[in-house]
């Protein structure tokens, strides 16, 4: 199936190549980056490097082809998860991994980090990528896959645009069904939470989706889900995506409050984007009355505000307060360290809910150039868990910078990884301890002009190298 945009795609890629060639002709004095405004990224950060680098205009935001015979969807990098599910689900197809928020883009999820409640089964977003097309610093268009330029293919994920400019991705698709059957299981006690979560996460044969919301040190709701063609008698249909519905995390909490499990059938797209309206639970800090039934009924359709709008309208004062008192972090920990990690977050942050999503890092697969399985006593365990902490910690005299440094030390000591969409204060040496750069460095040395055109990943994401400074609204 062809979509309307393919005839324009080659023209837009040619324009990118022309801009890179012009940069070469002018002496290659500035490093390159895309011209997309720093305000438009889903990260809370507003990176400053875009103000000092040569901006390459990239206008690639279309679904190009849905090939059901090959089970592939070919897309441009600025296509969002909302676009993809809107295109695929009505045709009876879906991505194996669909990160929750509507506005997350394919390029951001490949170059950065992408996880979903199906990642215990399929791994991170990069594992569903069949091929990439990249414009290099030489102005060449390179296609890479497991069989074609594999050394490039395995390094693109998590490279943050430091190897070239992503212009196309081919993603694996699988058959979809109308509903997701969700079973809600309230849990009491930290040990029970950890045991039940790990058990269901390892049960890939029975569970298409696994997710846990922890509401306190010993209280959580575990959700397991499966594709379903129909809604059966064991549960009701709940269209949770409608504007007047309770925010999903508050809906889940009702099972905990009543100490009873339950089953629901949620339409597939509603399930995929279940955390969008409330931005997980961040909207409770921005609009404390946002989950009020009257507000939801009258103005629920206005939510969520765009992340870009929140960043663009931020004042210097609120920016400083947010960095000191607010947390947006995802830490990827070996499941063997889950209990210890949850105790750490309770002691040092006391921030709830916490989002727990299992993920597998498979040996000999697309390990993002940086990620490698945690080894314990010579045994490789591919199961990790993403611990998402979003909100305002309740620890007395909390200081965000000091807490982040300590948290990064804890993650590094326990063989975990930090999701690099958020702030990091890792030193350059610690960053290289956390992420293996061996193959990445070798490829950058082999690619002509790569070092002249693109800085390292650390240069782009570190708050030490390029501090995220406040900029007044209206200035890019």
Contact 221, 256 (CB under 8 A): yes
Query: For 171-175, 231-235, 453-457, 459-463, which range has the lowest pLDDT when averaged over its residues?
Result: 459-463
Contact 224, 185 (CB under 8 A): yes
Contact 52, 32 (CB under 8 A): no
- Confidence band of 52 (pLDDT split at 50, 70, 90): confident
Query: For 25-29, 65-69, 198-202, 446-450, which range has the lowest pLDDT when averaged over its residues?
Result: 25-29
Q: Rounded to the nearest 5°, which phi and psi values hold at 185?
A: -130, 105
Mean pLDDT in residue range 118-137: 94
E strands present in 241-352 = 262-267, 327-334
User: What CA–CA distances, in Å, run from 190 to 116, 175, 194, 250?
Assistant: 23, 36, 6, 21
* Structure-model confidence comparison of residues 33 and 96, the more confident one: 96
Q: Residue 52's CB: how many other CB atoms inside 10 A?
A: 10
Indicate if the pLDDT at residue 374 is higher than 50. no
- Confidence band of 34 (pLDDT split at 50, 70, 90): confident
DSSP string, 105-173: BHHHHHHT----TTHHHH-SGGGGEEEEEEE-TTS-EEEEESSSSHHHHTTSTT-TTSS-EEEEEEEE-
Alpha-helical regions (H) of 176-282: 190-202, 248-257, 268-272
E strands present in 201-260 = 209-216, 219-228, 236-237
Q: State the pTM of this model.
A: 0.88
- Per the listing, tokens 């945009």 go with 5
Q: What is the pLDDT of residues 379-388, one digit of tens each?
A: 567 899 999 9
Domains of the chain: 6-175+456-461 (3.30.465.10), 179-312 (no CATH)
pLDDT of res. 234: 94
Mean pLDDT in residue range 285-296: 85
pLDDT of res. 306: 66
What is the residue-averaged pLDDT of the chain? 87
**What letter would DSSP give residue 212?**
E
Indicate if the pLDDT at residue 279 is higher than 90. no
Pair type for strands 174-175 and 209-216: unpaired
């Amino acid at each position: 199936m062809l979509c309307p945009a393919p005839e324009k795609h080659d023209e837009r890629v040619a324009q990118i190549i022309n801009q890179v060639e012009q940069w070469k002709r002018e002496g290659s004095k500035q490093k390159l980056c895309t011209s997309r405004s720093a305000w438009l990224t889903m990260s809370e950060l507003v990176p400053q490097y875009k103000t000092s680098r040569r901006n390459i205009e990239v206008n690639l935001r279309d679904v190009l082809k849905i090939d059901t015979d090959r089970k592939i969807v070919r897309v441009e990098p600025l296509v969002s998860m909302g676009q993809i599910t809107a295109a695929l689900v009505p045709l009876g197809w879906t991505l194996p991994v669909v990160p929750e928020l509507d506005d997350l883009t394919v390029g951001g999820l490949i170059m950065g980090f992408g996880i979903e409640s199906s990642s215990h089964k399929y791994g991170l977003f990069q594992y569903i990528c069949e091929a990439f097309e990249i414009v290099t610093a030489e102005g060449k268009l390179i296609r890479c896959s497991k069989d074609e330029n594999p050394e490039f293919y395995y390094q693109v994920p998590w490279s943050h645009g430091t190897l070239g400019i992503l212009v196309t991705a081919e993603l694996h698709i699988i058959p979809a069904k109308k509903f997701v059957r969700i079973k809600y299981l309230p849990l009491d006690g930290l040990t029970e939470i950890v045991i039940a979560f790990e058990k269901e996460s390892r049960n890939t044969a029975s569970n298409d989706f696994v997710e846990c919301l922890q509401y306190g040190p010993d209280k959580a709701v575990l959700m397991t889900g499966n594709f379903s063609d129909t809604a059966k008698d064991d549960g009701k249909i709940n269209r949770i995506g409608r504007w007047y519905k309770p925010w999903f995390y508050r809906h889940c909490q009702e099972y905990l409050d009543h100490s009873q499990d339950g089953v629901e059938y949620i339409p597939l797209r509603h399930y995929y984007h279940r955390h969008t309206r409330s931005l997980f639970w961040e909207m409770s800090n921005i609009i404390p009355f946002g989950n009020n039934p009257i507000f939801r009924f009258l103005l629920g359709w206005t939510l969520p505000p765009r992340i870009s709008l929140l960043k663009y309208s931020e004042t210097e004062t609120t920016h400083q307060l947010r960095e000191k008192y607010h947390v947006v972090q995802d830490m990827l920990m070996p499941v063997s360290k889950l209990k210890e990690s949850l105790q750490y977050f309770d002691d040092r942050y006391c921030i709830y809910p916490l989002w727990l999503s299992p993920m597998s890092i498979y040996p000999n697969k697309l390990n993002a150039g940086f990620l490698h399985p945690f080894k314990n006593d010579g045994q490789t365990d591919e199961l990790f868990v993403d611990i998402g902490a979003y909100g305002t910690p309740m620890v007395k005299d909390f200081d965000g910078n000091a807490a982040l440094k300590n948290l990064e030390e804890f993650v590094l000591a326990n063989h975990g990884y930090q999701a690099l969409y958020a702030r990091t204060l890792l030193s350059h040496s610690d960053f290289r301890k956390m992420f293996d750069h061996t193959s990445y460095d070798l490829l950058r040395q082999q690619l002509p002009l790569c070092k002249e055109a693109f800085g390292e990943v650390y240069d782009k994401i570190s708050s030490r190298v390029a501090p995220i400074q406040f900029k007044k609204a209206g200035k890019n």
